[in-house]
Structure 1
Amino acid sequence: MTEQGTTPDNTAQDSALRQAPGQAGDQRVGAAPAPQVPAASNDPARWGRVDSDGTVYVRTPDGERVVGQWQAGDPAEGLAHYARRFDDIRTEADLLQARLNSGAGDPKQALASAKHLRDGLAEAAVVGDLATLAARADHLVALAEQAVAEARAAREQARAEAAARKEALVAEAEQIAADSTQWKAAGDRLRTMLDEWKAIRGVDRKTDEQLWRRFAKARDAFNRRRGSHFAELDRQRATAKARKQEIVAEAEELADSTDWGPTAGRYKQLMAEWKAAGRAPKDADDALWQRFRAAQDRFFAHRSEAFSERDAEFAENARRKEELLAEAEQIDPSTDLDAARAHLYRIQERWEQVGRVPRERVRELEGRMRAVEERVRSAVDARWRRTDPEAQARVEQFRERVEQLEAQAAKARAAGDQRRAEKAEAQAAQWREWLAAAEAAVANR
C-alpha cells in the first residue's frame, strides 16, 4: 500500500483525551488500571522505520510488520504520518472509554466498536505501541462486556419491577371486580389503573399478555356486575315510580274529601307506603313528590279551615250551654217540684238543640247539668216514696192486726184463759214492731 501526503495533526485532541484512561470509571474491570498508550507522534522512530525502498515497518512483540509504502518525501515524514494514524486509533479508544465511563450510549454498540478496534489492530497500517494499544483494546472489550452485562441486569430488574407493578394492578383490579360496590369510585379507579398500565414499559410480551388478560377479565367482570346492579336498580326504580304514581293518584282523589278523620288516617298510611316504595328516577321522584305534597296540603288546608269554623261554632255552643246551666242551677225543687221538673225539661230541650262543644269542655258542662238533673230526680223520688199507696196500705194492715191481737188478749184474760191471753199479747207485740218499722219507712221517704 502506498500513502501520499499526510493527515492533519491531532496533537490538541490527543492532549484533551490523554487522561481519560486514568478516570475513576476505568476501574470497573478489576483493580488494574487501563494500559497507558503513549502518543506515537511524540517519537515515531521508537515504534517503526522506513527502509531505503520506502517500505514502512512497525515494531511489534512478534517482530516487524510492513504497514505501507512512503514515496512522497522524507522518511521521517512517513513515520510521522503513520504515527498520526496510530494516534487516531488511540484517540478512538480514548473516546470509547470516555463513553463507557460516563454510561452514555448503547453498551452493545460500544462493545461492537471495542471489538472492531481490537480485531483491526493486527492489520492496522499504523506506527506506534501496538502491544499496549492491543492491551488497551482488550481492556475496552472487557469494560464494554461488563457494561452490557450491567445493562442487561438493569433491564431485567426494570422488567421484573414493571411486571410486579402490573401484577399489583391486576390484583387490585381482581379485588375490585370481586366485591367492590362503590361503583363510581371503583370505575374511576379502574380507568386510572388503565392509564398507569399503559405507562409501564419493559415487561416481556408473554408475561405482559398473561397479565393483560387477567386485568381485562377483571375489568369486564366489574363492568358486568356494575351493569347488572344498575339494571336491577333501574327495574326497582321503575317499580317504585309505578307504585308512587298510584299513591299520588289516590292522594289527589282524597284532596277534597271532608271525611276528616279517616282521610287524615289514610294520608298517614300513604306516606308510609311512599317511603316503603323506594326511590324512583330522580326527576320523576321529585315531580311525584311535589304532586303528593300538593294534594296532602290541599286536604289539610281544607280541614284546618273547617276545624277553625267548627271550633268557633263549638265555642259559641259552650257559651250558650253555660247560660242554660246558669238558669238550670237556679231551679229549687223543694218549693214547687212539678214546676221545677217542667222548667228543667224545657232547659233540657234547649240544651239538646245547642249542639256540640269543644271536647275539653264536655265533661265540665255535662257534669254540671247532671248535678242539676240529679237534684230534681232525688226530690221526685222522695215524694214518690212518701205517697206510695202500697206502703200506706201495709201500715194500716199492720195496725189492724195489732188491734185484733190486743182484743183477743183482753177477751182471753176476761175469760180467765191466761195462756191464750199471753200468746195473743206476744203476737201483738211482734206485729207492733212491724208496724213501727213500716211507719218509719213511710216517714223517711
Structure 2
Amino acid sequence: MTDQDTTPETTAEGASPSKVDGTRGPGTPAAPPPVAVASDHPDRWGRVDAEGTVYVRTEDGERSVGSWQAGEPAEGLAHFARRFDDIRTEVELLEARLSSGAGDPKQALSSAKHVKDGLKDAAVVGDLAGLAARVEHVIAKAEQGVEAAKSAREAARAEAVTRKETLVAEAEQIGNESTQWKTAGDRLRAILDEWKTVRGVDRKTDEQLWRRFSKARDAFNRRRGSHFADLDRQRGVAKSRKQELVEEAEKLVESDDWGPTAGRYKELMVEWKAAGRAPKEADDTLWQRFRAAQDQFFAKRSEAFNERDAEFGANAKLKEELLAEAEQIDPAGDLDAARAHLYRVQERWDQVGKVPRERVRELEGRLRAIEERVRGAVDAQWRKSDPEAEARVAQFRERVEQFEAQAAKARSAGDKRRAEQAEAQAAQWREWLTAAEQSVASR
C-alpha cells in the first residue's frame, strides 16, 4: 500500500471533492454532498505503516489515529473506518431529525457541537473534511431551529399573555359593573376554566394577571353578597308587613259591613303589592292565607247579596202591585177619597222596603207621576175652594207636625226605617202645605 495508491482524488481546484465552505450565512447554507462511506474504501482516507501505526489523511496532512498490531493492515483501516462511519451515521440521523421536525433543535445543536469538537482528535479513518462540513451544516440548521423555536415560544407567550389579559379585562368589567348575578357568576367560572388552559406565560406576568383576576372576582362576590344581603333585609321587612296585612284580612272575614269592608280588602291588595316580595316559602304561605280570608269574606257577601236580591225582587213585585192599584185613583171624582187612597198606598209602599237598585228609578218615577196627578187636582181645587183654604192649610200643617213627631220618635227608638218613612211623608205633606199657603197668600 503506497501513498500514491491511497491519495484521495482531487477536483480541478485541487481540493477534496467533499471539501465545502462551512461558513454560515443569515439563512441555512446549502447542504454539502453526502459524506462517503469510509468502510467501502478505507484506503482512500488513510494508511497503516510498517510499524502498525494508523494514519488518516486531512487537509493539513496525515495524522496518527492509533496502532494496529492484531492482524493485516487492511483490517486496521477497516476498523477505524467503521468508527468513522458510526460518527457519520450519527450526524446524518441528527440532520434527518431536524429536517423532519421530529428532533429537538437545541439537543441536536449540542450533539453536533460535541461531534465537531471531537473530530479534531477523533481516532477514525474517513472523509473528515466532508464530515466536518456536514456537521457545520447541521449546526447551522440546528441554530436556525433553535431561533425558530425561540420565536415560536415568544409568539406563543405573547398570544397567551394577550388571551389572559383579555380574560382579566372581561373579569374586571364583570366585577365592577355587572348585576346579572347568575349569568355573571357562571361567566367568571368559565373564565377560570379557560384560564387554566392557557400555558406559556412567564411566572411574573402570570402572577400579576392572576392578582388582577382574583381582585375582580372578589369585587364581584362582594357586590353580589351585598346585593343579596340587602334583598334578604328587604324580604324580611316585606314578610313582617305581609303578616300584618294577613292578620287584618282574617279579622275582616266576619264583618257584614259589606261596602266598607270590600273597599278595605281592595286597599289591602294594593298594600300587599307595594310591600314587595318576602322569602318565597313564607310569601307563598302568607298569600294563601290572605286569599283564603278574602275569598271567605266575598263568598259570605255574595250569599248575603243573593238573599237580599231575592228579598228586593219580591219587594219590587209588591210595589208593582201597589202602583197598579194607585194608577186606578181618579182625583177628578172624589178628591178627598183619592188623596186618602194615595196616602194608604204611600204608607204600604214605605212598609214594603227596598227593591233592586236598577228598579228604583223606574218604580219611584211611576209613583211620583201618580202623586203629581193627585197634587195637581188638589191645587186646582184649592184655587176653586177659597173658603176652605185656611182650613186646609191648618190641616196640612197638622199632618206635617204629626209625621215629624213620628219621625223623631222612631229615630229616638233607633228605628231608622220607620223614621225615614215618616220623614218622607212629612216632606210630602209639607209640599202640599206650601202649595196651600201660596194659594191663600195669592187670593
TM-score, reference length from structure 1: 0.80
State the match for 1:100 in structure 2: 98
Q: Does 1:366 align with 2:360?
A: no
State the match for 2:51 in structure 1: 53
Choose from 142, 145, 148 the match for 2:146: 148
* Superposition deviation, residue 86 in structure 1: 0.4
Q: Which amino acid aligns with 1:188?
A: D
Q: How does 1:19-418 map to 2 (within 5 A)?
A: 29-389=27-387
Q: Distance in 2 between matches of 1:391 and 1:290?
A: 72
Q: Which amino acid aligns with 2:46?
A: G
Q: Distance in 1 between matches of 2:361 and 2:92?
A: 121
* Superposition deviation, residue 388 in structure 1: 1.6
* Superposition deviation, residue 390 in structure 1: 9.3
Q: Distance in 1 between matches of 2:86 and 2:371?
A: 144
String of CA shifts for 1:136-180, please: whole Å, max 9, x gaps.
111111111111111111000000000000000011111111211
* Superposition deviation, residue 36 in structure 1: 2.0
Q: Which amino acid aligns with 1:301?
A: A
Structure 2, unmatched stretches of 5+, are 1-24, 391-438
**Equivalent residue of 2:71, what SS?**
coil
Aligned length: 370
**Equivalent residue of 1:171, what SS?**
helix
Whether the aligned pair in 1 keeps the contact of 2:31 and 2:134 (CA below 8 Å) is no
Q: Distance in 1 between matches of 2:80 and 2:194?
A: 58
Whether the aligned pair in 1 keeps the contact of 2:29 and 2:137 (CA below 8 Å) is no
> Which segment is superposed worse, 80-89 or 248-257?
248-257
**Equivalent residue of 1:278, what SS?**
coil
**Equivalent residue of 2:88, what SS?**
helix
**Equivalent residue of 2:254, what SS?**
coil
Q: Which amino acid aligns with 1:219?
A: R
Q: Distance in 1 between matches of 2:364 and 2:42?
A: 146
Q: Distance in 1 between matches of 2:292 and 2:169?
A: 53
* Superposition deviation, residue 108 in structure 1: 1.5
Q: Which amino acid aligns with 1:218?
A: A
String of CA shifts for 1:11-45, please: whole Å, max 9, x gaps.
xxxxxxxxxxxxxxxx9953522342111011100
* Superposition deviation, residue 284 in structure 1: 1.2
Question: What is the RMSD computed on CA atoms of the aligned residues?
Answer: 2.0
Whether the aligned pair in 1 keeps the contact of 2:48 and 2:54 (CA below 8 Å) is yes
Whether the aligned pair in 1 keeps the contact of 2:29 and 2:140 (CA below 8 Å) is no
Aligned sequence identity (%): 76
**Equivalent residue of 2:70, what SS?**
coil
Q: Which amino acid aligns with 2:203?
A: R
Whether the aligned pair in 2 keeps the contact of 1:35 and 1:135 (CA below 8 Å) is no
Q: Distance in 1 between matches of 2:27 and 2:384?
A: 147
Whether the aligned pair in 2 keeps the contact of 1:41 and 1:83 (CA below 8 Å) is yes
* Superposition deviation, residue 308 in structure 1: 0.7
Quick one: structure 1 residues 282 and 390, their matched pair in 2 at CA, closer, same or farther if it must change by over 3 Å?
closer
Q: Distance in 2 between matches of 1:105 and 1:193?
A: 35
TM-score, reference length from structure 2: 0.81
* Superposition deviation, residue 321 in structure 1: 0.2
**Equivalent residue of 1:57, what SS?**
strand
String of CA shifts for 1:364-401, please: whole Å, max 9, x gaps.
11111111112222222222222223999xxxxxxxxx
State the match for 1:399 in structure 2: none
String of CA shifts for 1:72-91, please: whole Å, max 9, x gaps.
11110110011011000000
Q: Distance in 2 between matches of 1:30 and 1:330?
A: 134
Q: Distance in 1 between matches of 2:28 and 2:330?
A: 140
Q: Which runs of 4+ in 1 moved over 3 A?
A: 27-31, 389-392
**Equivalent residue of 1:58, what SS?**
strand
Q: Which has the larger radius of gyration?
A: 1
Q: Distance in 2 between matches of 1:330 and 1:146?
A: 130
Q: Distance in 2 between matches of 1:309 and 1:337?
A: 41
State the match for 1:24 in structure 2: none
Whether the aligned pair in 2 keeps the contact of 1:332 and 1:340 (CA below 8 Å) is yes
Q: Distance in 1 between matches of 2:389 and 2:296?
A: 69
Structure 1, unmatched stretches of 5+, are 1-26, 393-440
Q: Distance in 2 between matches of 1:390 and 1:266?
A: 58
Q: Which amino acid aligns with 2:208?
A: Q
State the match for 2:420 in structure 1: none
> Which segment is superposed worse, 85-94 or 239-248?
239-248
Whether the aligned pair in 1 keeps the contact of 2:56 and 2:62 (CA below 8 Å) is yes
Q: Which amino acid aligns with 2:290?
A: F
